[in-house]
Amino acid sequence: MQSDNPTAAILVIGDEILSGRTREGNAHHLAQVLNATGFDLREIRVVSDDQDQIVAAVRALDGSLGGAWDLLFTSGGIGPTHDDITADAVALAHGTTVEVNDEARALLQDRCDRMGTELTPNRLRMARVPVGARLIQNAVSAAPGFSIGNTHVMAGVPEVFRGMVDWLIPQLAAGRPVQSQSVEVRRGESDVAEDLKAIAGEYPDLSLGSYPFNDADGWGTNLVVRGLDAERVSEAMAAIKQRMAL
Amino acid sequence: MQSDNPTAAILVIGDEILSGRTREGNAHHLAQVLNATGFDLREIRVVSDDQDQIVAAVRALDGSLGGAWDLLFTSGGIGPTHDDITADAVALAHGTTVEVNDEARALLQDRCDRMGTELTPNRLRMARVPVGARLIQNAVSAAPGFSIGNTHVMAGVPEVFRGMVDWLIPQLAAGRPVQSQSVEVRRGESDVAEDLKAIAGEYPDLSLGSYPFNDADGWGTNLVVRGLDAERVSEAMAAIKQRMAL
């Protein structure tokens, strides 16, 4: 698909994904938001709560650090426990250190006051962000995410992650939303390959994908056309339907 | 967690994950199998159907090519259509080329004979594997996966992927299965952080994780102990329960 939309990567940080305990869902949610908003998601990585791995991935993926893509979004590892090392690792990747951020501390203090609890040293850990970072609002549980360079650091708890995404994405300079149309055919992928290739050749500006599945009625294939121009997407879908007599 | 289990990475190849169309499930399934079998999954990457991205990821992740981890498992991109380029890209990463494999062709021919269909050029694409590769059996739809170096290439369709995993994993030299125990506490993560850190210090051979959640009853945290020695895991869990009066 031809696109000059800003490119993006997602870095998921957490042993619970790699151990198989938790099925990752934050990257899937953000993938949908990014495509619908006008960002071109190009890579997802999942690494463990390991400083070297996080630092290497941030440097490899954040364009402001010479990484491969324009923007980097992370999920996980910013809680209050000993294995929450994302803030420190992201700071290190950006050549800086962490500090207790006054604005973040005030947000946590305010929440503790309302909840009638104390701002313990563990809770205060969640106000530690890299020097120079901008905060990302957490409407669910106060402890903020943060942005530094082109790295946007968000929480792993799904409700909190989604709230941060809702707040953050509208503030970023987006391109054009991706348009897509799909049609299901009751044929195996091999039987549509030829037609699809021919149409893909006629529409180099679009992305044509085929996704085989196997259900109670046997094999079928979903054909998906994606692109930035809704009219071109409709044209290509019409061409598919005509060529395959759908 | 201290472990000398073989390390592993998973590379998922496919635009449908990055576009948000499909929620990835193969890596989650394989993560569970690897941990239960005695492999230490250290990284997951998702890239698009792009030759440069696939080649770079294979080289970065397969230890036999100087990559970071011992074993690499891939999912997706070995079907019959124009955008199925995984076999070619993996061959390139391993410094070789693809050829129509005689054994794979015979498997496909046999299936076509049974189905009363023809082995068309598109179907024959699925017999193209890197020179020197060993086949991975596909009990669902015949078209095989393959192994070359320490890269194990499997299909993206979930039923087929699972069948290939079932066939492949028992043939690989595994370490010791990971043992795990978990307990749910009705406290926020901040309120367990101190106790958990103390116990983590006493059990450096184990991994202690805390996973906060938010449900109808408010915030809670799942505490998870993981390690290779079942007795040590039980000891640490007992210590957690005693210390937190659970």
For residues B89-116, average pLDDT: 96
In this prediction, residue B18 carries a pLDDT of: 96
Query: What is the residue extent of each domain of chain A?
Result: 7-171, 180-243
Q: Any idea what DSSP says for residue A203? A: -
Sheet with A40-47, edge to edge strand ranges: A134-136, A145-148, A151-154, A71-75, A7-13, A40-47, B40-47, B7-13, B71-75, B151-154, B145-148, B134-136
For residues A146-151, average pLDDT: 98
For residues B132-144, average pLDDT: 95
Chain B residue numbers with beta carbons less than 8 Å from the beta carbon of A44 are 17-18, 44-46
The Cα B81–Cα B183 span in angstroms is 47
In this prediction, residue B1 carries a pLDDT of: 77
Chain B residue numbers with beta carbons less than 8 Å from the beta carbon of A178 are 19
Helix (H) or strand (E) holding B30: helix B26-37
Burial of B17: CB neighbours in 10 Å, binned 0-12, 13-18, 19+: buried
Residue of B24, B207, B210 lying closest to A81 (CB–CB) = B210
Detail the DSSP E strand segments found in chain B: 7-13, 40-47, 71-75, 98-100, 128-130, 134-136, 145-148, 151-154, 179-185, 207-215, 218-227
The Cα B37–Cα A31 span in angstroms is 31
For residues A61-82, average pLDDT: 96
Q: Which pair of structure tokens corresponds to residue B197?
A: 């850190």
A42/B45 Cβ within 8 A: no
Chain B contact present for A116, CB below 8 A: no
> Which of A1, A7, A15, A19 would you mutate first to test chain B, the one with the most B CBs within 10 A?
A19
The Cα B211–Cα B100 span in angstroms is 48
> Which of B42, B81, B125 would you mutate first to test chain A, the one with the most A CBs within 10 A?
B81
The Cα A24–Cα B121 span in angstroms is 37
Chain B contact present for A237, CB below 8 A: no
Residue A2 pLDDT > 80? no
Could you read off the pLDDT of B46-59 as tens digits, one per residue? 999 999 999 999 99
CA-based R_g, chain A, Å: 22
In this prediction, residue B50 carries a pLDDT of: 95
In this prediction, residue A218 carries a pLDDT of: 85
Helix (H) or strand (E) holding A239: helix A230-243
Q: Which residues contact B36 (CB under 8 A, 6 or more apart)?
A: A20, B177, B178
Q: Which residues contact B109 (CB under 8 A, 6 or more apart)?
A: B119
Could you read off the pLDDT of B167-193 as tens digits, one per residue? 999 999 999 999 999 999 999 888 899
Could you read off the pLDDT of A19-33 as tens digits, one per residue? 999 999 999 999 999
Residue B134 pLDDT > 80? yes
For residues B99-124, average pLDDT: 94
**Alpha-carbon gap: B134 to the closest alpha carbon of chain A (Å):** 23
In this prediction, residue A230 carries a pLDDT of: 95
Helix (H, G, I), strand (E, B) or coil at B13: strand
Using CA atoms, how far residue A237 sits from A78, A180, A182, B49, in Å, is: 44, 10, 8, 21
CATH class, range B179-243 = alpha beta
Using CA atoms, how far residue B168 sits from A49, A163, A178, in Å, is: 29, 41, 38
Could you read off the pLDDT of A37-55 as tens digits, one per residue? 999 999 999 999 999 999 9
More confident residue, A212 or B51: B51
Provide the CA A197 distance to its chain's centre, in angstroms.
30
- Please give the span between the terminal C-alpha atoms of chain B, in angstroms, as a whole number: 24
For residues A62-73, average pLDDT: 98
Could you read off the pLDDT of B85-94 as tens digits, one per residue? 999 999 999 9
In this prediction, residue A100 carries a pLDDT of: 97
Q: Which of residues 120-179 of A touch B (CB under 8 A)?
A: 120, 122-123, 125-126, 140-141, 157, 159-160, 178
Q: Which pair of structure tokens corresponds to residue A48?
A: 């463990």
Residue A73 pLDDT > 90? yes
The Cα B28–Cα A12 span in angstroms is 13
A23/B214 Cβ within 8 A: no
Residue B159 pLDDT > 80? yes
Contact B84, B20 (CB under 8 A): no
Share above pLDDT 70 across residues of chain A, in percent, rounded to a whole number = 100
In this prediction, residue A74 carries a pLDDT of: 98
Contact A126, A119 (CB under 8 A): no
Q: Which chain A residue's Cα is nearest to B195?
A: A81
Could you read off the pLDDT of B200-233 as tens digits, one per residue? 999 999 999 999 888 888 889 999 999 999 999 9
In this prediction, residue A214 carries a pLDDT of: 84
Provide the CA B155 distance to its chain's centre, in angstroms.
12
More confident residue, A214 or A50: A50
For residues B71-99, average pLDDT: 96
Q: Which pair of structure tokens corresponds to residue A23?
A: 């099925």
B192/A21 Cβ within 8 A: no
Chain A contact present for B240, CB below 8 A: no
The structural architecture, per CATH, of the domain A180-243 is 2-Layer Sandwich (3.30)
In this prediction, residue B215 carries a pLDDT of: 85
Helix (H) or strand (E) holding A195: helix A193-202
For residues A130-153, average pLDDT: 96
Using CA atoms, how far residue B194 sits from A22, A101, A121, A124, B7, in Å, is: 24, 22, 9, 13, 31
- How high does pLDDT run on average in chain A? 95
CATH of A7-171 among 3.30.830.10, 3.40.190.10, 3.40.109.10, 3.40.980.10: 3.40.980.10
B47/A47 Cβ within 8 A: no
Q: Confidence class of residue A173 from pLDDT cuts 50, 70 and 90?
A: very high
Q: Confidence class of residue A245 from pLDDT cuts 50, 70 and 90?
A: confident
In this prediction, residue A1 carries a pLDDT of: 77
> Which of A39, A46, A199 would you mutate first to test chain B, the one with the most B CBs within 10 A?
A46
